[in-house]
Amino acid sequence: MNWSRRQTLQTAGGIGLHGALAAIGLVPAAALAQAQAFDHAVFQAKTMADAIKALGAGAPAESKDVMINSPDIAENGAVVPVGIRSAIPNTDFMALLVDKNPNALAGAYRILEGAEADVNMRIKMGQSSDVVAIVRADGKYYMAKKEIKVTLGGCGG
C-alpha cells in the first residue's frame, strides 16, 4: 500500500474514487509503479482542440510514422475497428480522438517497456468524422489524421 501514491492520484486528478481503488489494490501495483496518474477529466473535453490541450500535447507535428489503420467507410458506427501504430522510437503514449463525437477522446494508451507501439481497438462513432492519433515519443508529440465515413451512427438508441 502506497499512501503517497494514493494522495497524489486523488489530488492530481480529482478522480478520488479511482485513486482509492488503485490504492486498495484493484489495479496491479506493478502498473501503478510505472504508470503516472492519468487525468480522466480529459475524457470530458468536448472538442478535439480541447482534448489535445488537456492531454498537454500542445501543437503536435503531423508525421508519416504515425499510422491509423481503419476502414475508410464504416458500416456500423457502434463498432469501428481502428488501429494506431507508431514507427517513432521511444513511443510511450498514444491516444485516439474522434472529432465529432460528444467527447473527443476515445482511448489513451501508455506503452510501457516491452510493448510495441501498435494497438487495435473498436470504437463508437456518432457520425462521419476525422479521427486523430496523437503519439508521444521522447517528450515530443506527433499526430496523424484520417477521415472515416460512417453510414450508421453508433451513439443513438
Nearer to other proteins, 45 or 143 (CB): 45
Minimum CB separation of residue 26 from other proteins in Å reads 5
Contact 18, 9 (CB under 8 A): yes
Contact 89, 107 (CB under 8 A): no
Nearer to other proteins, 61 or 67 (CB): 67
What burial letters (b/e) apply to 73-91, b meaning 16+ CB within 10 Å? ebeebbebebebbbeeeeb
Binding site for other proteins (CB under 8 A): 17-18, 21, 26-28, 30-31, 34-35, 38, 40, 43, 78-81, 83, 98, 101-103, 105-116, 118-125, 154-157
Residues 6 or more apart from 33 whose CB is under 8 A from it?
none
Minimum CB separation of residue 27 from other proteins in Å reads 6
Nearer to other proteins, 65 or 118 (CB): 118
